[in-house]
Structure 1
C-alpha cells in the first residue's frame, strides 16, 4: 500500500504525519522549504487543553516547559477592570501560549525519529493526478519527482496549491482585522497573566489603537497586539515603537520601562472556508481548508483538530480498504465545527467593534462585549470552545441504554484518571490517538484494589467479552469516577477523544451498535460488498 502524501511541513502537516505513524500508516511529507524554520518570537499560538495534550503525546516533549500557562486573564476598559479570571481558583485549565517555531521544531524532531515518516525538503508541489486506487503528485525543483500515494492531504496553508489544483473555491472575507504585533522582554504589572485593554486612557487622537492585548511567554517575554483602524495605512517601525513606548508607559508609572524588542510584525485576519474539504482521495486540512482568527479564535488550534480527526479515519481506510462514509465524515464534522465558529465571530464582530448596535444586541453593554471577547480568547462559548460532533453521520442510532453524563455526545471527554489493561494508572487522554475505540467503565472503589481482584468480578468479564466482540479494535479502561456518570455506566470514546455514547451498565448489543456507527458502519458495508461479490 502506498504512503499518504502530506503536502506542507507546518504544524498541521507534521502533526498529521505523526498521528498516522502512531497508527502504523506511512507518509511522505512534501516540504517546499529547506527543512528548518526561522525563529519568530512574535508568531505565537494559543492552544487549548486538548490540542496541547495532542502535541505532547505525539512529540513526547513537555510543551509546558517551553510555553506559558497563564495564571489568569483580565479585561480592562480605560482604568476599570471589567472581568478577571484566576485559573487556579476557578479550577479551569489555562490556555498554553507558545511560540509557533518551538512547536514546529518539536514536531520536526519527532518526525526525524519516526521511520514511517519520510521528509522531502525543497519539494514544491505543481501537479496532482488521482485514480480509483490513489493519488500521484509531482514536485518541482532541481530534481523533479513524481510521488505515488494512497491519499493526498493538503496542509499547505492559506495559499494552498492543493486546493487550487483541485479547483476548490475558498470564499470569505479578506482583512477582517489587522493587528500590529511585537514580542518584547519587559517587566509588566501582571506577571503570568494575559490582558486585553480596550480604550486605554492614554489613547490620543489620530490612528492610535483602541485595543491592545498582552499575552505572556516564558523568560519575561510578552506578545503585544494592537488592533489597527480600518484601512491600509502602513505600520512603520517608528509608529510601532511609539505604540510600544506609549503602551508600556501607560501600564506602569507613566515612564516607559526598559524593554528589549525581539520581533515585530503585522497580523492580518481573514475569514474563509473551503467549499469542499475532500475531492476523492485528496483532502484539505488546516489553513488550506479554513482561515479564522478574529476575537481571539486560533486557526492553528482548529488545524490540529483537523489532523486529529482525519488521522484516525485515514488509518482504517489505509489498512482495510477505502471507506467512503468514514472519510466523508471528516468533511462533515470538521467543516461544520469551523463554520459555526466563523459564523459566531462574524455575527459578534460588528457588535464588539461598533458602537451603534451594541446597546441593543448585548445585555450589559460594555460588560457584555468584554465577556464575548474573553470567550474567544479563553476558549469558551460559541466563539472559542472546541466544536462538538452531535450531528455527525457517525453518531449512533437511538439506544435503549443511553444515559446523559457530564459530556454531551460528540463533545470532548473529560481527562480523568483511568486504569489501563496492564494495571497502570494513566490519564484518559494518554490512551487517545492509537486508532482504537476506548470503552470506559465507571467503577467507584477500583482504584484502591489490585486489578487482579476486580477483573474477574462483577460486570467485568461480561464487559471484557463485549469489548472483544466489537467491530473495531477497542481498549477497556476503568475509572473511579466521571463527571455526571453513575456507577457501572459505560462510556464509548472515539480515538480522537469525542464521546460516542454513555450506557447504563453493560449492554453488549447497544455497545456494538454504537461502535459500528462510530466507524462508519464498516462491518455492515463490507458484509454487503462481500455478499454482492458472491
Structure 2
C-alpha cells in the first residue's frame, strides 16, 4: 500500500512521520527546505510533560518553579513537581532530534527541496506534485498538510482559515547570562556551578521599565526574554532591542543587589563558621573572611546576546481539518500562542491524535469504520482548539484590560490575571491543560459496557502510573504510548503484582483469560498491569488509546466489554 504523504518537515510533520513508523506505517515527508534548520535560540517551544514523553530525549530544560513578581516584590511562586515540569527547548534542536530519530526508521523517508503545487484525490489515494526542473509526482494513501500558517495544502483543498491577526506581539531576545533566579553554588575554585533553575514571569507598571517581561531558562546557561509590545506598532529596531535588554538587566541587577545586600547582612550576623549557601537574589559565597558578590559590578554580570526577533501571535482556525483523504495539522490547521498558549505543543498533539487513526485505516482498509475513525480527528482536535481559542478570547480583556497589572499585587484586586497567565505558560487550566475529548465518537456510550468510575473521565488523558508488561519489562504507562504499545493499551489494576516476578502471576487468576482476549482484539493492543491507578478499584481494566486518552474503564472478566470498546475505538459498532 502507498505511504502517507506528509507535506512539511517542521516539528509536527516530523513527529507524525515518526509516530507512523512506530505504528508500522510508511511515510514520505516532502520538505521544502534543505533539511538543515537554522539555529535560532530566540525561537523556542514549551512542551507539556506528556507531550515530551512520547518524543525522543530532547536537549531541553525542565523548569522547577514559576515565579511572578513586581520589582522586588514576589507576587506568587508555583513549585513544579518533576513529573509535571514542562520542557523548554529550541525549535531547531527539537527538529534535529526528530530528524535524527527518523534516520533510523526504514519506513520514513524525507525528500528535501520539495515544493508542493498540486494535490489530487481519488477513491484509492492521493497524488501530490512537487515543482522543479522536471517536476515530480508522488502517490500516497493519505496526505497531511503540516506546512505551516501559509499552508499550500490548505489552499489546494480550498479550506478557509478565518481568525484574528496580531492578537499579541512580543520582542524576543536570547541571552547567555546568569539571572537572579538561577540557583547554584561555587566550586572549590570559585567557578559558578548552575543547579536547578526556575522561570520568572515579571510584571511592571504599564509604561514603566522594563514593562511586562517573561524570562524563561534554556539549556546551556541561556534565557529567553519576551517583552510585551502593543499588538500593532512600529518595527523594533536593533538599537531598541539592545536598549530593552540593557534596561531590563539594569533593573534586575539593581533589585538583585538589594536582595543580596539584605541576605549578606543576615548571613554575616548568623554565620559562626564558613558555610556554603544560595541566595535568592544573586549567587554568592560565604568564606571565612566575609562574603563576595557572585556577579560582576552590577549584580548580574556580563551577558552575551545570542539571538533576537519579534513574535506576532495570530488566532486562526481552519474550517475543516479533513477533506476526504487529506488532513491538516499544526499551524496549517490552527494558530495560537496568546497568553502563553503553546502552539507547537498543540501541533504535536494533533500528530499524536492522527497517527494511530491513520495507522488503523492504513492497515485495515478504508471502509465505513475508517471514515468514522478519521472523522473523529477533526471532531476531537478541532473541537479542542476551538475551545482553547474561545478561552483565550475571553481571558484577553481580563488580563490585558480592566485593572491592569496592578491587580496582580496582593490586595490590589482580583488574582484572576495571575492564574490565567500561569495556566497558559505552565499548561494548566482552560488556557493550557490537555483537552478531554468528552464527546468523541470513539468512547462507548454511557452504560453500554458496564463502565466503572476511575480518577480519569472517559476521553481525558490518563495518569502516568508505573506498569509491568507481560514480558516482564517495567516502566511507566506513557512509555508504551505513541506506537510502541499499538493502537490500544489494556491495563489491569492488580494490587500486589509489583512485588512478584511476572512469571508467578501471568498464568494465575484472570490473567490467562484477559491475555487471550487482548490477543484476539481487532487491532494491535498491549496488555499492561499496574499496582494501582487513581480512583480505580482492584481488578479494574482501563482501555487507553495510543494518544494517552482513556477510552473506557470496566471490571475485569468481561471480554465482551473489552471487544466492544476496541470496536468503538477503531470506529466500528459497539455492543
* TM-score, reference length from structure 2: 0.85
For residue 322 of structure 2, the aligned residue among 275, 278, 281 is 278
1:451 aligns with 2:502: yes
Q: Describe how 1:88-103 pairs up with structure 2 within 5 A.
A: 88=81, 93-103=84-94
Question: Partner residue of 1:18?
Answer: 18
Deviation at 1:138, TM superposition (A): 0.6
Separation (CA, whole Å) in 2 of partners of 1:124 and 1:289: 19
Q: Evaluate the alpha carbon distance shift between residue 246 and residue 364 of structure 1 in structure 2; reply closer, same or farther with a 3 A threshold.
A: closer
Distance 2:76 2:404 in 1: 22
After superposition, what is the alpha-carbon deviation per residue over 1:272-321, rounded to whole angstroms, capped at 9, x for unaligned? 00000011111000000000001110100010011111110111111111
Q: For residues 135-534 of structure 1, what are the structure 2 equivalents within 5 Å?
A: 135-191=126-182, 192-199=197-204, 210-253=211-254, 255=298, 257-322=301-366, 323-355=370-402, 365-399=413-447, 401-434=450-483, 435-521=486-572
Provide, for residues 60-88 of structure 1, a one-character-per-residue CA deviation record: whole Å limited to 9, x for no partner.
Answer: xx21xx21101110011344322101224
- Structure 2's unaligned 5+ residue stretches are 183-196, 256-297
- What is the alpha-carbon distance in structure 2 between the residues aligned to residue 242 and residue 424 of structure 1? 56
Q: Secondary structure at the match of 1:252?
A: helix
Structure 1 equivalent of residue 62 of structure 2: 69
Deviation at 1:92, TM superposition (A): 5.3
| Residues 249 and 257 in structure 1, CA contact (< 8 A), matched pair in contact too | no
The RMSD of aligned alpha carbons is 2.0
Cα offset, 1:505, TM superposition = 3.0
Q: CA–CA distance in 2 between the matches of 1:142 and 1:422?
A: 53
Deviation at 1:461, TM superposition (A): 2.2
Q: Which runs of 5+ in 1 are unaligned?
A: 57-61, 525-534
Aligned-partner Cα distance in 2 for 1:22–1:428? 16
Distance 1:481 1:305 in 2: 27
Residues 19-47 of structure 1 show CA distances to partners (whole Å, capped at 9, x for unaligned) of: 11111111111111111110000000000
Distance 1:100 1:522 in 2: 41
Change (3 A) 1:23 1:92: closer
Q: Tell me, what secondary structure is at the counterpart of 2:454?
A: coil
Give the Cα separation in 2 of the matches to 1:519 and 1:472. Answer: 8
Deviations 1:461-511 (A, max 9, x none): 222232233232221110011111111111110111111111133222222
Note the 1:71-90 alignment, pairs <5 A: 71-88=64-81
Residue 110 of structure 1 and its aligned partner are, at CA, apart by 1.5
- Conserved 8 A contact 1:464-1:476: yes
CA distance in 2, matches of 1:452, 1:253: 64
Cα deviation digits, residues 501-532 of structure 1 (max 9, x gap): 111332222222211111111799xxxxxxxx
Shift of 1:436: 2.9
Other structure's SS at 2:54 match: helix
Paired with 1:44 and 1:356, the residues of 2 have a C-alpha distance of 31
Residues 404 and 502 of structure 1 are in contact (CA less than 8 Å); yes or no, is this contact kept in structure 2?
Answer: yes
CA contact (8 A) 1:471 1:523 kept: no
- Give the count of matched residue pairs: 510
Using the alignment, how far apart are the partners of 2:179 and 2:224 within structure 1?
12
Work out whether residues 568 and 574 of structure 2, in 8 Å CA contact, stay in contact via their aligned partners in 1: no
1:358: Cα distance to partner?
9.9
SS in 2 for 1:287: helix
Question: C-alpha distance in 1, partners of 2:386/2:360?
Answer: 27
Q: Cα deviation per residue 1:256-277 (whole Å; 9 max; x = unaligned)?
A: 7311000000001010000000
Residue 38 (structure 2) aligns with: 38
Q: 1:357 to 1:43 in 2, by over 3 A?
A: closer
* In structure 2, distance between residues paired with 1:366 and 1:240: 33
TM-score by length of 1: 0.92
Distance 1:498 1:248 in 2: 44
1:112-162 deviations in whole A, cap 9, x for unaligned?
Answer: 222211211111000111111111111012341011111110000000000
Q: 4+ residue runs of structure 1 moved beyond 4 angstroms? A: 356-360
